Amino acid sequence: MKIAIVCYPTYGGSGVVATELGKALAKKGHQIHFIAYKQPARLSYFEENVVFHEVSFSNYPLFAFPPYETALAGKLVDVVKYENIDILHVHYAIPHASAAFLAKEILKTHNIDIPVVTTLHGTDITLVGKDVTFAPVVTFSIQKSDGVTAVSQSLKEETYEHFGVCNHIEVIPNFIDLSTFQRANKDHFKKAIAPNGEKILMHTSNFRKVKRIEDVIRIFHKVQEKIDAKLLLIGDGPERKAAEHQCRELGISHDVRFLGKQDAIGELLAVADIFLMPSEAESFGLAALEAMACEVPVISSNAGGIPEINIHGKTGFLSDIGNVQEMADNAVYILSNPERCQQFRQAALEQAKRFNIDNILPLYEDYYRLTIKKVQETCATS
């Protein structure tokens, strides 16, 4: 198949999933065309069966803001027409799904009815999509998609509840490439971080309020009262400055390292003993799954789709949002007993194997074929 994939090119979850999906499809022989405003973060310049199309637009004095959605729709029309694309897969509802609808309508004037699949990732529904300004557009775009997928059952149910769409939404979970994320011997690195054998707690995110970075630090502070430990914070964002100040206020800055944005997340996770995810909203929890693939137990909230991957009492523990004391106690419970810790590590890995990309990729391929067939049958009867 020739598949066009539209995504955000950033380090965020939807962009990572879209890019890794496209790369995996390309390895199976499909021709993949990425469309974004810049090269996706996880896409190298030389990938077999992969082409990148950059969306460019001009800044005219008339426009207070560049009309990205219109430029994207125009690029979609161009790529579908001249690359003979079989299906268009857009990740994140805003503005990709609405741009895809506009492109689809334009292409019909050229006797091309391109099937469109929209994948919902989370904040496009749970946060941005609920904004009264965007909600009608999100609802319309979902309803006009030929196929709709969600990355978790929780997100599917929330979409039905808040948007009243009548489409069938197929749940296809996020995935992990176990060849990339796996535990490895990194003793030299671990000793550099924890020279006296301290336990290493880790958190990765985009440092937005929804990630509750302040809770990550409070959990670590409480754990440290009972177990010698270090904290690694990976990522960057608007809450970083406040987090650095919080560490100074608590007097733990010497035990906390802010590593900023990192590409080799798997190598860093390989030295972790506990992964912290106290988020107030997570459609899936991809970062937790990456940790589990590296045999790292997860201490998390029970928000959104996290309970669909983190099994309470087996791969880690779930707590109510904001219950910092319970999260800290659960982390200590795992870390205080080496045999128990190893049991949690093994269970985390076994759970991660269920989401290996080799298991998830065929679900997308089957859904593409089903959607193409549905559009073809509709065209034949119209």
**pLDDT, tens digit (0-9, with 9 covering 90-100), for 153-196:** 999 998 888 877 777 999 999 999 888 887 776 677 788 888 88
Is 180 within a domain? no
**DSSP assignment of 189-230, as one string?**
HHHHH-TT--EEEEEEE---GGG-HHHHHHHHHHHHTTS-EE
Quick one: 206 and 126 in the same domain? no
Q: What is the pLDDT of residue 62?
A: 65
CA distance 334 to 123: 31
Distance between CA 129 and CA 139 in Å, rounded? 9
Q: What is the pLDDT of residue 185?
A: 67
Q: Tell me how far apart the alpha carbons of residues 350 and 353 are, in angstroms, rounded to a whole number.
A: 5
Q: How far apart are CA 235 and CA 213, in angstroms?
A: 11
Are 335 and 194 members of one domain? yes
Sheet holding 31-36, edge to edge: 50-54, 31-36, 2-6, 87-91, 116-120, 147-150, 169-171
Q: Other CB atoms closer than 10 Å to residue 374's CB: what's the count? A: 13
> What pLDDT is stored for residue 164 in this prediction?
74
Total domains in the fold of the chain: 2
262 and 364 inside one domain: no
Are 87 and 155 members of one domain?
A: yes
- Does residue 37 or residue 367 have the better pLDDT? 367
Digit-coded pLDDT (tens) for 277-332: 999 989 898 999 999 999 999 999 999 999 999 999 999 999 999 999 999 999 99
pTM: 0.88
Q: How many angstroms separate the CA atoms of 222 and 75, rounded?
A: 52
Q: Of 378 and 361, which is predicted with more confidence?
A: 361
Domain shared by 30 and 98, yes or no: yes
| Amino acid letter, 248 | R
CATH number of the CATH domain containing 120: 3.40.50.2000
The pLDDT value recorded for residue 186 is 65
Q: Where are the beta strands (DSSP E) in the chain?
A: 2-6, 31-36, 50-54, 87-91, 116-120, 147-150, 169-171, 199-205, 229-235, 256-260, 274-277, 298-301, 316-319
Range of the domain at 295: 187-353
Which range (99-103, 216-220, 374-378) has the least confidence? 374-378
Same-domain check for residues 200 and 340: yes
Q: 162 with 232, same domain? A: no
Q: In the structure, what pLDDT confidence band is assigned to residue 379 with cuts at 50, 70 and 90? A: confident
**According to the model, what pLDDT value does residue 333 have?**
98
Note whether residue 82 is domain-resident. yes
